[in-house]
A and B are shown apart, each in its own frame.
Chain A
């Protein structure tokens, strides 16, 4: 056994956080993988679901299942109430002003595509520019590339430094009268960097440019207040927030959403239809064509309840301590190089090892029951920026423990042994 001596501080939130009890809420974590207790460190890909979220789905289908906004019967009313209650819960969670500003979508990807195909097509013309950063997920690159190609606009890339911090001066210098939108990752999935979102938004607004934040990796780990940020659009996925897959949120300021054309046509999004003319429904329904993911929305509402109960600030503080502990552990292993060392960082430990490919690391860790992600993390331009093809990435959640990170470090020792 190697001696690991990452420091434990006194009076830390670790002690106030009853992880054993919390872990108990997640049935999936109680299993062994390859004969070892599961250590789940792939939370940035998707998080696990507490029993209360699973129950919410079962309860909905067992007791209330019906279509929403369409029936006069009791079940339909109940389903509609639960669906809209979920929207309100999520609205309060991100402190939006009005339920009409929250559109239920499939996830971050659909939210960004929605903005590109509606706001984008309406407002971005030939010669215009859109700014993204060097550390975007493909889902915040490709929709804009498609739009730029259609409209003859240009994508501008705000650079980052080697630690993974957005270079603010360079970003500001990119802003000019041709800039029509800024779309940035709030927390990088591959590096963990948290961008100074408020500053960035102020800079963009000083040039009259609206800002979309990709909050896929943010909402589950830090307080997001869309009014305080003053962002114009905010996108996130339910499944990374301990909720079900297939559900997510696009937040948009009401005046922007009002002015945007609909995304898809169909039922639910219309007020009246004749073959000559269709009147669109009011917000948010204008953007929710067809039968929505009712169960998913209710499940996401239950996830928000769960997170609120723990307290997002406490979650953030606990995860920060875990991150510091894990950073110290991995820094002690000389053949490990951390990729992404920004000052302000979320619980992501991306790393490479001398002469050992991330896939081999992933396979050996899996044999130890440890789930991490290896690959380019849907951020190929970022990998190119660092001159690597892939990283191994351990990503944290509040149900992880120092023991999980000890297990990670031990398993990395094993990787070194196998390849020594």
Chain B
């Protein structure tokens, strides 16, 4: 059997992505989440339910992810869940913004953004434009969740 070619698959199924796909982190249902959002892509069946628990200072202390679908959404959800702990919602929004910007950016840029940490492994998806939405879905859930959380907070006051 010939080896999997690096080109043209271009490392889409690299070690980190496959590792997170096979062993997704923070896969849990949180009974008392402060923030929750669900996103679904009916075309392929990609689905994510994201839950966050915050401490008194507004930092993420616990993340619960339930995801279904292709390797890209599952790996993204897992990598994202690891990046969120200890962060405030504003910081998460910044991270989501940075990720989104990077994914839409120049595909030739070898070092897109050092600030993404392990999430940087997902930038390879930029070379597969039809798959970018798979990597963005968990972030859409995060942003929706934050939006809903804020509006419920203002309603409660």
Closest Cβ–Cβ distance, residue A4 to chain B (whole Å): 14
Digit string of A388-416 for contact with B (CB within 8 Å is 1, else 0)? Answer: 11100000000000000000000001100
A-chain residues with CB within 8 Å of residue B128 when the two chains form the complex? 363
B-chain residues with CB within 8 Å of residue A374 when the two chains form the complex? 44
A-chain residues with CB within 8 Å of residue B70 when the two chains form the complex? 357-360
CA distance A34 to B9 in the complex (A): 9
Q: Is A376 a contact of B45 with CB atoms below 8 Å?
A: yes
CA distance A393 to B75 in the complex (A): 24
Give the number of chain A interface residues (Cβ < 8 Å). Answer: 25
Size range of the chain B interface in the assembly: 20 to 34
A364 at the binding interface (Cβ < 8 Å): yes
Q: Is B4 a contact of A414 with CB atoms below 8 Å?
A: yes
Closest Cβ–Cβ distance, residue A192 to chain B (whole Å): 21
Digit string of B32-53 for contact with A (CB within 8 Å is 1, else 0)? Answer: 0000000000111100000000
Given contacts A360-B71, A414-B4, is CB(A389)–CB(B12) below 8 Å? Answer: no
B-chain residues with CB within 8 Å of residue A118 when the two chains form the complex? none
Q: Is A357 a contact of B44 with CB atoms below 8 Å?
A: yes
- Which residue of chain A lies nearest to B47 when distances are taken between CB atoms in the complex? A389
B117 at the binding interface (Cβ < 8 Å): no
Q: Is A375 a contact of B4 with CB atoms below 8 Å?
A: no
The CB with the most chain A CB atoms within 10 A, among B44, B68, B128, B134, is that of B44
Partner of B8, one of A35, A375, A383, A390: A35
- Which residue of chain B lies nearest to A364 when distances are taken between CB atoms in the complex? B9
B18 at the binding interface (Cβ < 8 Å): yes
A275 at the binding interface (Cβ < 8 Å): no
B-chain residues with CB within 8 Å of residue A72 when the two chains form the complex? none
B147 at the binding interface (Cβ < 8 Å): no
Q: Is B71 a contact of A367 with CB atoms below 8 Å?
A: no
Q: Is B42 a contact of A359 with CB atoms below 8 Å?
A: no
CA distance A417 to B1 in the complex (A): 9
A-chain residues with CB within 8 Å of residue B8 when the two chains form the complex? 34-35, 367
Instruction: Give A45-99 interface residues, CB cut-off 8 Å to B.
Output: none
A-chain residues with CB within 8 Å of residue B71 when the two chains form the complex? 356-357, 360, 419
- Which residue of chain B lies nearest to A413 when distances are taken between CB atoms in the complex? B1
Digit string of A1-21 for contact with B (CB within 8 Å is 1, else 0)? Answer: 110000000000000000000
Instruction: Give B67-81 interface residues, CB cut-off 8 Å to A.
Output: 68-72
Q: Is A367 a contact of B44 with CB atoms below 8 Å?
A: no
B5 at the binding interface (Cβ < 8 Å): yes
Digit string of A363-396 for contact with B (CB within 8 Å is 1, else 0)? Answer: 1100100000011100010010000111000000
> 6 new A-B pairs (CB below 8 Å) besides A358-B44, A360-B72, A367-B9?
A356-B71, A357-B44, A357-B45, A363-B131, A376-B43, A388-B45
9 pairs of residues in contact across A and B, judged by CB atoms under 8 Å: A35-B8, A359-B72, A360-B13, A363-B128, A363-B131, A389-B68, A390-B45, A413-B1, A418-B18
